[in-house]
Amino acid sequence: MASAKTAATAGAAANTLSQTKPPFWRDERVRGIIAQVAVILLLVAAFAFLIYNFLEKQSKASGPAISFDFLTNIAGFQLSFSIIDVTLDSQIGHMILAGMINTLLAAAIAGFFATILGLVVGIARLSKNWLISRIAATYIEIIRNIPLLLQLVFWFGAMIAMLPLVKESVTIGDVIFLNKKGLFLPKPIFEGSIIIFILSVLLAIGLAGVIARWAAKRQIATGQQFPTISANIALIILLPLVTYVIVDPIVWEIPVKGGFNFKGGFTVQPEMTALIIGLSISTSAYIAEIVRAGIVAVSHGQTEASLALGLKQSWTLRLVILPQALRVIIPPLISQYLNVVKNSTLAGFIGYADLFAVIGTSQNQTGRAIECIIILMGFYLAVSLIISSIMNVYNKRAALVER
């Protein structure tokens, strides 16, 4: 009797509970969905308005419709620097391509030096030597707290102020010249026998690989070590050198003074040098901090364990600390590489013909502002996405594999 009553009460309670299920706006999940839908709708509405507004204004102002035909127009202007051949008769599209290559070139070189410099400074920052660690810290703080544009203008200004005039050029053996207009180097002109030389380089690299594998195997089997690195460096330098002397595959075009400039040879312009120095140094300070954070993140016990096993200090760093630190380092490093590419847009201020500068000129000559901005945005977006995806693949490999 009593039990039946309890059951009935329980049933009633269950009934009321299902009836008083909270209204949907109290449900966190539903609320989340509603908020997201609302935000998306707002975004779509905003974009639709912007596009509508643009089209509307364009039809009223009877301005030209969006079209990329201007890319095939003759540019009629010259670039200060280009890897690919550009002339006054080149098409605007070709000029823009040259600008893209210039941007990538400067960013790649600057990224490379920034990584090395950043690694060195980051490790120096953690040095037990008080002087070294303070110097590294000062370097980082100074560089990180000065705007990049100022640094670039400084390096460029310093460079052209310090370098000698053309008629007072500094020279090394009348082959290499340095003056305000740049560093003039002999340019290699390859002959047919270059193939033998390239083969010898490839052979040396292949042999080095074989040696490294053999040495590793032997060390695992017998514990005996082999000076792999020095042996391989010797191999990779010596074999091609000997081949080079024998087949003589390259004729050097030496720069000669003619008129206002040096003619022939290969020129490294001060604008590009200043850009690369400025970008490398500025980025290296950020990378140094990332490297330091990565190393500090590795438990000190790892170092102690490694030293206890009898590994040298340098081995400890190379074999134990850095591989683990990389897991922490890589993700923020990706954004530094993205920054190098994006920061290179300041190049125009010191006279380097990067994409942003070339687009600026093209836009001014053709009046195609929207098209030019689309190209610009598309390029930087694509480059950024490519860099992130490559680095993400690398990150996946370096990341801790959890079991």
- Cα four-point dihedral sign 166, 167, 170, 172: positive
Report whether 299 contacts 131 (CB < 8 A).
no
CB of 267 vs another protein, minimal distance in Å? 9
Residue 64 binds another protein, judged by CB under 8 A = yes
Dig out the tokens for 297 from the structure: 């993140």
CB of 187 vs another protein, minimal distance in Å? 16
- Residue 257: in which H helix or E strand, if any? strand 256-258
Report whether 288 contacts 118 (CB < 8 A).
yes
Residue 73 binds another protein, judged by CB under 8 A = no
Residue 180 binds another protein, judged by CB under 8 A = yes
CB of 34 vs another protein, minimal distance in Å? 9
Contact range with another protein by CB under 8 A, out of 60-68, 97-105, 186-194, 245-253: 60-68
Q: Which residue's CB is nearer to another protein, number 76 or number 227?
A: 76
> Which of 5, 21, 26, 60 is in the footprint of another protein by CB under 8 A?
60
Q: Which residue's CB is nearer to another protein, number 14 or number 34?
A: 34
Residue 363 binds another protein, judged by CB under 8 A = yes
CB of 41 vs another protein, minimal distance in Å? 8
Return d(Cα 114, Cα 108) in angstroms, integer. Answer: 10
CB count in 10 Å sphere of residue 261: 13
User: By CB neighbour count within 10 A (0-12 exposed, 13-18 middle, 19+ buried), where does 121 fall?
Assistant: buried
> Which of 15, 127, 219, 261 is in the footprint of another protein by CB under 8 A?
261
CB of 256 vs another protein, minimal distance in Å? 12
Residue 23 binds another protein, judged by CB under 8 A = no
In sequence order, the β-bridge partners of residue 84 are none
In sequence order, the β-bridge partners of residue 183 are 178, 268
Q: Which residue's CB is nearer to another protein, number 90 or number 232?
A: 90
Q: Count residues near another protein (CB under 8 A).
A: 55
> Which of 91, 133, 193, 366 is in the footprint of another protein by CB under 8 A?
366
CB of 352 vs another protein, minimal distance in Å? 9
Rg (CA), the chain: 31
Residue 147 binds another protein, judged by CB under 8 A = no
Contact range with another protein by CB under 8 A, out of 170-178, 196-204, 213-221, 355-363: 355-363
> Which of 104, 135, 160, 212 is in the footprint of another protein by CB under 8 A?
160
Q: Which residue's CB is nearer to another protein, number 228 or number 269?
A: 269
Q: Residue with structure tokens 């990329």?
A: 68
> Which of 122, 249, 294, 348 is in the footprint of another protein by CB under 8 A?
348
Q: Look at residues 86, 65, 83, 85 and name the one whose alpha carbon lies nearest to residue 74.
A: 86
Report whether 356 contacts 306 (CB < 8 A).
no
H, E, C per residue of 295-362: HHHCCHHHHHHHHHCCCCHHHHHHHHHHHHHHHHHHHHHHHHHHHHHHHHHHHHHHCCCCHHHHHHHH
Return d(Cα 394, Cα 331) in angstroms, integer. Answer: 10
Within positions 275 to 334, which residues make up the interface with another protein, using CB under 8 A?
none
Residue 61 binds another protein, judged by CB under 8 A = yes
β-bridge pairing 250-253 and 261-263: unpaired
> Which of 151, 361, 371, 375 is in the footprint of another protein by CB under 8 A?
361
Return d(Cα 9, Cα 366) in angstroms, integer. Answer: 83
Report whether 178 contacts 164 (CB < 8 A).
yes
Extended beta strands in 150-254, E state = 170-172, 176-179, 182-185, 187-190, 250-253
Q: Look at residues 95, 93, 96 and name the one whose alpha carbon lies nearest to residue 72.
A: 93
Residue 42 binds another protein, judged by CB under 8 A = yes
Residue 91 binds another protein, judged by CB under 8 A = no
Q: Look at residues 233, 252, 236 and name the one whose alpha carbon lies nearest to residue 200.
A: 236
Contact range with another protein by CB under 8 A, out of 128-136, 298-306, 310-318, 350-358: 350-358
Contact range with another protein by CB under 8 A, out of 116-124, 222-230, 256-264, 293-301: 256-264
- Residue 267: in which H helix or E strand, if any? strand 266-268
Residues lying near another protein in the complex (CB under 8 A):
35, 38-39, 41-42, 45-46, 49, 53, 56-57, 60-64, 75-80, 88-89, 153, 156-157, 160-161, 165-166, 180-181, 258-261, 263, 269-271, 348-351, 353, 357, 360-361, 363-367, 369
